[in-house]
Chains A and B, each alone.
Chain A
Amino acid sequence: MAGMNDIKARIKSVESTMQITKAMELVATSKLRRAKETVERTRPFYQILGKAIDSISSLSKEENNTWFENSDSSKTLFVVFAGDRGLAGGYNANIFKLVEKLSVNKDAIWLPIGKKALEYSKHRNYNIYSELFAEAADQSVGPILSLGKIITDGFKNGEFGEVILVFTEFVSMMTQRAVYETLLPLEKPATSQVDKFETDFNPTEMLDQIVPEYVGGILYSALCESLASESGARRMAMNSANKNAEEIIDTLMLHYNRVRQAAITQEITEIVSGAEAL
């Protein structure tokens, strides 16, 4: 009889866990919808910005502009976008795996965005550039743009020679992919359009003004992509958790019924054999 109670208790505990995962799925779904809208709004900005920065960088005739070459520093700054919370499938782990792969043979400094990224880098005693941006969820355009300025200033002052952005690209509701992008130094465009544009200003000065804004803009879109991906990943993870819980409950129910039947059969046999003995 003890077996029956044990199974009942397990069913109950699985059911209450399922309630939590179900609620989390609902929350993730509604967050995902909002985040998806933001991503779709920021995408045109990101694409046009990329094109424009190409035309501006092609203006600069100097070969040794600060923005195009590695400075003397051998350090690499990784801007790592992860989540604030766990329980989102492989969302955080995939990002960290990618950073680890990229940072082999590199003198890496971490700039964690998201509590999980901060915890991870602290736990492993990595070099941390700034802890000011640890909460991914409440970053808005303003602080991210100032982060762009901080990063470009650091690059200019030679604190690091390379800036790599690691974030999760929001491919679709079902698919998210951990990707990286080299932010700085800027890539010198292959085709020179030096004489294409006319301007009244010094290209180098223009680049000095635009690059921090450009970096900030890219960071902001990476943040939006990451937040949408996090909700997407969490929704998927919670969805499979629900399915799994249902399966477990089904097997437990079957098991419970079997044990119950066995107990009844045993009781009947006992009574019958007891009656026979009389």
Chain B
Amino acid sequence: MKEFHLQIVTPDGLAYEGMVESLLVRSNDGDIEFLANHIDYITTLGIGKARIRENGKDRYASVSGGFVTISEGTATLIAITFEFAENIDLERAKMAKQKAKDILSSSTDSKTIEIAKLKLQRAISRIKVCEYK
């Protein structure tokens, strides 16, 4: 399959750079998959799983926030967090999920609840992505 260049950056550095056959991400409205020769495109990302296909093999990752731009045939994914399934600490994600749930059930402050909701979403996404290890 035809390949295109993909670059993934997070505040912690360059998470991935290389040629891929496909990039699948979760946008705010649902999953979008990009193949080579895609038209120039921009979309923001929600919290969820991402998939890259390189050399016919799929790699999964958990992504939160950020956006994807496709410009002149190269894709750039800018995310707040981007973790490949093999790097995710399942135990930690489960703990984070529990903690976020506790906060949601006990807190009344709207700001804390908002933050906890995002944390919960992130933890759930991580746990889900772990299934693809």
Q: Which residue among B29, B39, B69 has the maximum number of chain A CB atoms within 10 Å of its CB?
A: B69
Given contacts A44-B13, A141-B11, contact A213 B80 (CB under 8 A): yes
A220 CB, min distance to chain B CBs, angstroms: 5
Given contacts A199-B41, A213-B66, contact A52 B14 (CB under 8 A): no
Residue of B whose beta carbon sits closest to that of A208: B44
Q: B1-29 CB contact bits vs A (8 Å, 1 = yes)? A: 00000010111111000000000000111
12 A-B interface contacts by CB (under 8 A) = A45-B11, A45-B13, A48-B9, A48-B78, A52-B69, A52-B78, A55-B69, A198-B41, A199-B41, A200-B29, A210-B44, A217-B11
Residues in chain B within 8 A of chain A (CB atoms): 7, 9-14, 27-29, 39-44, 65-67, 69, 71, 76, 78, 80-81, 115
* A130 close to B (CB within 8 Å): no
Given contacts A196-B40, A199-B41, A213-B66, contact A220 B9 (CB under 8 A): no
Please count how many residues in chain A sit with their CB below 8 Å of the partner chain's CB atoms: 27
Flag if B11 contacts A42 (CB, 8 Å).
yes
* A172 close to B (CB within 8 Å): no
Q: How far is the CA of A41 from the CA of B15 in the complex (A)?
A: 10
Mostly, the A contact residues are helix
Mostly, the B contact residues are strand
* A221 close to B (CB within 8 Å): yes
Q: Which residues on B sit within 8 Å (CB–CB) of A55?
A: 42, 69, 71
Residue of A whose beta carbon sits closest to that of B17: A44
* A241 close to B (CB within 8 Å): no
B96 CB, min distance to chain A CBs, angstroms: 12
Q: How far is the CA of A59 from the CA of B43 in the complex (A)?
A: 11
Flag if B12 contacts A197 (CB, 8 Å).
no
Flag if A210 contacts B11 (CB, 8 Å).
no
* A127 close to B (CB within 8 Å): no
